[in-house]
Amino acid sequence: MSSDDRASGGSHGKHGTYGTYEVFRDPWGIPHLRASDSLTLAYAQGRVTAFDRAWQLEVERHRAQGSSAAFLGADSVAWDRFARQSRLDDTARRCHEALDAETAAWVGAYVDGVNDGLSAGAARDERFARTGLVPAPWEPWVPLSVWTATHVLFAGFATKLWRERVARALGDEAVTLFATDGPGTAGSNGWLVPGDRTSSGSAIIAGDPHRFIEDPGVYQQIRLSCPDYDVLGLAVPGVPGLGHFGHTGTAAWAITNAMADYQDLYTEQLRGEGPGLEALDPDGVWQPVARHTETIVVADGEDVEVEVLETSRGPVIVNEGGQTLSLHYPPRVRRDLGFAALPALLRARTVADIDRALDGWAEPVNVVHAADSAGGLLHRVAGAVPLRDGANRLRPVPAWDRRHDWQGWAETPAEPVQGFAVMANARGIASPLGVEFAPPHRADRIRELLSGSADWSPKAMAGVHADTYLASAEPLLALLPALDGLSPAAAALRARLLAWDRHMAADSTEATVFSAFRTATVRRLAADPVFADLAGAPTGPEVFHPWLYLVPRVGYALEGLLTTSLLPGFDRAAHVRAALEETAAAGASDTPWAEVHRLAPWSALPDPEAEWPGLGGDHDCVNATSSVPGFTDLTARASAARYVWDLARREDSLWAVPLGADGVTGAPHHRDQLPLWARCELVPVVTDWTRLSKESI
């Protein structure tokens, strides 16, 4: 591979002329880019990303465009159908057309870099040849398309389908009975420690975004430097800049999911056929429905025809079983994904700069922490949330009822930082904007840990990341003392569980026993006759099925179901007793938690021979390695990155990702961070150019 193929210092792209740039790598293979100007830097970011992660970029492009089944096969048809019916790529194209000229040029430079790097990147990765995938030039709006596809399910609008099912089965008063941080949602931890509580006297921002772990990873460690700025952070591969996590040297920011509700489902009334199809609008007028057919090509299978419908509310994403639902979501309504905020964040020098940049943020809606070296602090929500009737947030609403129209955009809250600020998807600053939030356990535990010192250093933050205390175990364990008439084995198990320290530590055998007991409890609760109408297999589009299975819903809502008054006659104690006896009868376990709680990442082309580590933690721990209680002890969702931003000395900052900097299987830096990440250890941020290895031209 020539040095030019490695995008290590070229100055002329095939799609235009850019200035000069250099590529450096630290000991972990993380790219540090230095360019003569910001457009050349965007070009270099695109080209290096394509070289490191060509397969990932092409998978994400095809998923956004609804064409991934063409090389991944029939398993990808469900997603491709959703992508086309929800018009993700078309929405991105419209948002790109509305960009200001400066932002469009910046995105275009990144795309030019991707296009100039794809060929060399694909040559490194045997998955292209194995699947027959040939890289194709990116269109100018593809980064916006990748962003849209990555985040369209973040607000969890599919939960409204579940709530509708619950309301029909148990009554309207039970619509939020299963409220919790459910499957398919994205969470995060984040905390901001002001300078009066650190050893340096300057603020520290730390945390970790929780997402489904993917191979290659969903975040890319990278540094971007030009005369206008020098920023390091975590990029979304396929998207220029550093949208979620960055450190400019004098200012830094980080986000978590605000758990806001900003996407609506409308029940549509349709009439007519073919080109005469119409939908009833709120004025009682039948309006034409845009309608066309697209073809999904399927590798080693028959092509699939997809009907794409769109009413004046939005694209129709469900049209079967007598139900027609359209999706109303802000980017399609506003023609804005907030991309102008991305270059503005790179130029930020102060908290005020970050705050102004985030005024233009759109999707996803985030809670933000920011700090600067002068002592400035920021805790706010950023994003576009529509003002509308409260019923819109809960379940599908009638499209023909004017009461459910959007009425403008909500103010995004901000509040002063007092003591320290914590964000972990629980109710708090974003409460006015959402319905369901994560339980408070992670946020409460982080506050408790932070309160234990007023002398925090960056290295000490790893102890917070690694914490495995499971406060959500308490409501289940609290029912055990009152159980009488237990068998000797069940009584011994009860004593063992009550003596347990509540830590889901990797080497804990009690954690394994508790998980087995919890699983038995969840399954017995789910089998109660009260839930009979919810127990059937999900119907409707397959992409929404993860939100519609009863057992995982019971597992994530276990705390609430053990205490709710909405289910008269629901004998919790009997189910818990039976679960305890069942677990005891299976025999005492001496298996460490990490042996059963293993990482199971998603990959577009899984490697059946890959070995993945066991982990500590659980879904309500700060070390949030999410199992699915009642279904599996494996974890597919965990910290997609960990970071510690030091505002005193950026070079004392730390970070880690689940795998590594290189997206090519078998490359030296593909999984070199995995063992450290599994132990919640961090690698140093290197900022001294003389300590980096320059890739020769």
CATH code of the domain in which 320 resides: 2.30.120.10
**pLDDT tens per residue across span 417-452:** 988 999 999 999 999 999 999 999 999 999 999 999
Q: What per-residue confidence (pLDDT) applies to 155?
A: 84
Cα 441 to Cα 447: distance, rounded to the nearest angstrom: 10
**Where is the domain boundary, 334, 352, 371?**
334
Show the domain range for 484: 467-637
pLDDT at 256: 96
Which pLDDT does position 609 carry in this prediction? 85
Measuring CA to CA, how many Å separate 204 from each of 304, 424, 462, 545, 557? 51, 17, 12, 40, 34
Q: What's the pLDDT score for residue 589?
A: 78
* pLDDT of the residue at 186: 54
pLDDT, residue 6, reads 43
Same-domain status, 329 and 471: no
Looking at the domain assignment, is residue 209 inside a domain?
no
Q: Is residue 323 part of a domain?
A: yes
pLDDT in tens, 50-91: 999 999 999 999 999 999 999 999 999 999 999 999 999 999
pLDDT of residue 608: 84
> For the segment 598-651, what is each residue's pLDDT rounded down to a tens digit?
999 999 998 888 899 999 999 999 999 999 999 999 999 999 999 999 999 999
Q: Which amino acid is residue 632, in one-letter code?
A: T
Give how many domains the chain has, as a whole number.
2
625 & 476 share domain: yes
666 — pLDDT class (breaks 50, 70, 90): very high
Q: Which helix (H) or strand (E) holds 636?
A: strand 632-639
Please say if the pLDDT value at position 8 is more than 70: no
Confirm whether 594 is domain-assigned. Answer: yes
Over residues 200-205, the mean pLDDT reads 98
Residue 514 forms part of a structural domain: yes
Cβ–Cβ under 8 Å, residues 32 and 100: no
C-alpha span between 5 and 3 (Å, rounded): 5
The pLDDT confidence band at residue 179, using thresholds 50, 70 and 90, is confident
- All residues at 6 or more sequence positions from 584 whose CB lies less than 8 Å from its CB, including other chains: 487, 489, 490, 492, 493
In a domain, 611, yes or no: yes
pLDDT tens-digit readout, 288-304: 999 999 999 999 999 99
Q: What is the pLDDT of residue 587?
A: 85
Residues 473 and 330 in one domain: no
Is residue 618 domain-resident? Answer: yes
How do strand 245-247 and strand 323-328 relate by DSSP bridges? unpaired
Across the range 461-465, mean pLDDT stands at 97
Q: Strands of 648-688 (E only): list them.
A: 654-656, 683-684
Domain of 539: which CATH number? 1.10.1400.10
pLDDT classification of 15: cutoffs 50, 70, 90? very low
Peptide bond into 364 cis (omega under 30): yes
Residue 139: the pLDDT is 98
Given this model, what pLDDT does residue 568 score? Answer: 85
Q: Is residue 494 part of a domain?
A: yes
Tens of pLDDT, residue by residue over 302-357, are 999 999 999 999 999 999 989 999 999 999 999 999 999 999 999 999 999 999 99
Question: Quick one: pLDDT at residue 7?
Answer: 42
Residue pair 261/433 in contact (Cβ under 8 Å)? The answer is yes
Q: What are the DSSP calls for 379-446, one per residue?
A: EEEES--B---THHHHS-EETT-GGGS--SBPPPPB----S-EEESSSSSTTGGG-S----SHHHHHH
CB 177 within 8 Å of CB 557: yes
pLDDT band with cut points at 50, 70 and 90 for residue 114: very high
14 confidence band (pLDDT: 50, 70, 90): very low
Q: What is the pLDDT of residue 16?
A: 57
The reported pLDDT for the residue numbered 13 is 46
Tell me which of 183 and 676 has the higher pLDDT.
676
Tell me the C-alpha distance between 518 and 497, whole Å: 11
Residue that finishes a domain, picked among 317, 334, 351 = 334
Task: Specify the DSSP class assigned to residue 598.
Answer: B
Q: Given pLDDT bands bounded at 50, 70 and 90, which one contains residue 17?
A: confident
Band of the pLDDT at 23, cuts 50, 70, 90? very high
Q: Is 241 helix (H, G, I), strand (E, B) or coil?
A: coil
For the cut 50, the answer to whether the pLDDT of residue 549 exceeds it is yes
Q: Is residue 101 part of a domain?
A: no
End residue of a domain, out of 306, 334, 362: 334
Question: Is residue 235 scored above 80 in pLDDT?
Answer: yes
- According to the model, what pLDDT value does residue 11 have? 46
* Mean residue pLDDT across the chain: 94
In this prediction, residues 405-411 reach a mean pLDDT of: 97
Q: Is 276 helix (H, G, I), strand (E, B) or coil?
A: helix
Q: Is the pLDDT of residue 1 over 70?
A: no
